[in-house]
Amino acid sequence: MNGAPTISTWYIDPDAEDAMADGHAPIWRHLIELVPERDLSGKAILDFGCNQGGFLRHLHAMRPFRKALGIDIAEQSIARANALKGNLPIQYQAGSRLPGWNEEFDLAFSHEVIYLVADIEEHAGDIWRALKPGGTYYAITGCHTDNPLWPSWRKLVAERTNTVVQDRSINDYAQVFAAAGFTVSARRLGFDGFIPYVPDGWMPNFADALDYYTRTKIVYRLVKP
């Protein structure tokens, strides 16, 4: 039950995690709007790979939930998540497995995490066990081998972060989660806001950024029947 070893922060430069959260915030809000589950007042939520915890803080502000767990292998990022959570009903915990969390959660999310998980079959099984029957896992990633930017991105992730990237296609994820028992569907993220021009190396050509947030990023909807 050990899973991946913990790290200090995901980005080697810890300050880059604040910038990541700022960049992801509009995407989180768009994602929350497109999820059909709207009344979360009685629900328990999991955010897998939560980093500094911003997604759950946004979710609670938009759709207040009963309780939530955020989990991440980055210990300092989890410490920051705990420092920022105030009185929200959220527990942040360092790790990559979910021991003791059985049929606990109504909804699970992971935003840009599954491409970093080495044993994706094990991860699918962990989420399956952690979800209640009828629960749903939204797993979002544009970091797949169908992304035309993937060859350059996988080098950037290797250079700038403390994790190892995995090369899997959109179809690979569908197969893995279906084999774990989930009813699998997916959609393109279809972000409809203005996309900022950020020349930081990830999007050398701005046209790629426009396609990335509309077409390339995939939202898997994985239902435990």
**Contacts with ligand SAM, residue ranges (CB under 6 A):** 4, 10, 20-21, 24, 49-51, 55, 72-74, 77, 96, 111-113, 116-117, 163
Q: Secondary structure of the chain: what % helix, strand, coil (to 5)?
A: 40, 20, 40
CB of 49 to ligand SAM, least distance (A): 3
Whichever of 16 and 174 has its CB closer to ligand SAM, that residue is 16
Whichever of 44 and 117 has its CB closer to ligand SAM, that residue is 117
Whichever of 183 and 193 has its CB closer to ligand SAM, that residue is 193
| CA 114/CA 123 separation, integer angstroms | 9
CB of 21 to ligand SAM, least distance (A): 6
CB of 70 to ligand SAM, least distance (A): 9
Neighbours of 172 (CB within 10 A): 15
Whichever of 40 and 74 has its CB closer to ligand SAM, that residue is 74
Cβ burial of 222 (10 Å; 0-12, 13-18, 19+) is: buried
Contacts of 149 (CB under 8 A, 6+ apart): 202, 203, 208, 212, 216
CB of 225 to ligand SAM, least distance (A): 25
DSSP class of 212: I
